[in-house]
């Protein structure tokens, strides 16, 4: 090979000792101009890098192990997130149904009781009628609010049409 003066090459290679042992070595060659002889000369040295190579291999093994552990943890985290979302959805559905059934039924019963009393009082304007009509307005508002909360906790469109339709309905 032809080298220019001042160039340096570094190579890593396995070196066989006379004893038969093999070690990892780093060969460093530096070319320089011998002005007296008019030639380019090469000076080389070998450094035993066996320990460094073992350390690098151990480091690589640990990195791979940690990477594998992180991937496993990430997969477990995703699975747990999905299970958490499913549990939340089930709980929201249960609360929405309970809210609709119990509070909704109670408010409906109150509405019927107020309507019955209004029927007994008749059309004659009086203080009791005005009070019952005000209460009926509050009960109707409360019933609407219970329905809204129940629907927001678990939109029926989610179960009936799927997540995409539910998102579109929610955005509107």
Query: For residue 1, what pLDDT is reported?
Result: 45
- How far apart, in whole angstroms, are the C-alpha atoms of residue 27 and residue 51? 16
- How far apart, in whole angstroms, are the C-alpha atoms of residue 92 and residue 86? 10
Q: What is the mean pLDDT of residues 143-169?
A: 75
Task: Express the helix, strand and coil content of the chain in percent, nearest 5 each.
Answer: 65, 20, 15
Q: Helices 50-98 & 127-153, crossing angle to 10 degrees?
A: 150
Q: Which residues of 60-79 are buried (b: 16+ CB within 10 A; e: fewer)?
A: eeeeeeeeeeeeeeeeeeee
- How far apart, in whole angstroms, are the C-alpha atoms of residue 106 and residue 27? 89
User: Residue 96 in contact with residue 151, Cβ under 8 Å?
Assistant: yes
**How distant, in Å, are the alpha carbons of 13, 100, 157, 160 from that of 153?**
67, 11, 12, 15
Query: For residue 125, what pLDDT is reported?
Result: 81
pLDDT tens digit string along 97-141? Answer: 898 889 989 999 999 999 999 888 888 788 888 899 999 999 999
pLDDT tens digit string along 2-46? Answer: 445 567 889 999 988 899 988 899 999 888 777 676 677 788 899
Confidence of residue 162 (pLDDT cuts 50, 70, 90): low
Q: CB atoms < 10 A from the CB of 95, how many? A: 14
Query: For residue 172, what pLDDT is reported?
Result: 67
């Amino acid at each position: 090979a032809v080298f220019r003066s001042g160039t340096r090459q570094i190579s890593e290679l396995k070196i066989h000792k006379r004893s038969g042992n093999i070690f990892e070595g780093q060969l460093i060659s530096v070319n320089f101009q011998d002005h007296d002889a008019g030639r380019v000369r090469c000076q080389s040295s070998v450094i035993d890098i066996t320990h460094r190579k073992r350390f690098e291999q151990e480091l690589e093994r640990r990195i791979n192990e940690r990477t594998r552990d992180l991937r496993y943890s990430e997969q477990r985290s995703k699975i747990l997130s999905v299970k958490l979302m499913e549990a939340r959805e089930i709980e929201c559905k249960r609360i929405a149904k309970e809210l609709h059934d119990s509070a909704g039924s109670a408010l409906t019963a109150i509405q019927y009781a107020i309507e019955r009393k209004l029927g007994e009082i008749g059309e004659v304007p009086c203080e009791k009628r005005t009070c019952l009509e005000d209460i009926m307005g509050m009960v109707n508002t409360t019933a609407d609010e219970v329905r809204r909360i129940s629907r927001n906790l678990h939109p029926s469109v989610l179960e009936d049409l799927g997540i995409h339709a539910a998102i579109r309905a929610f955005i509107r």
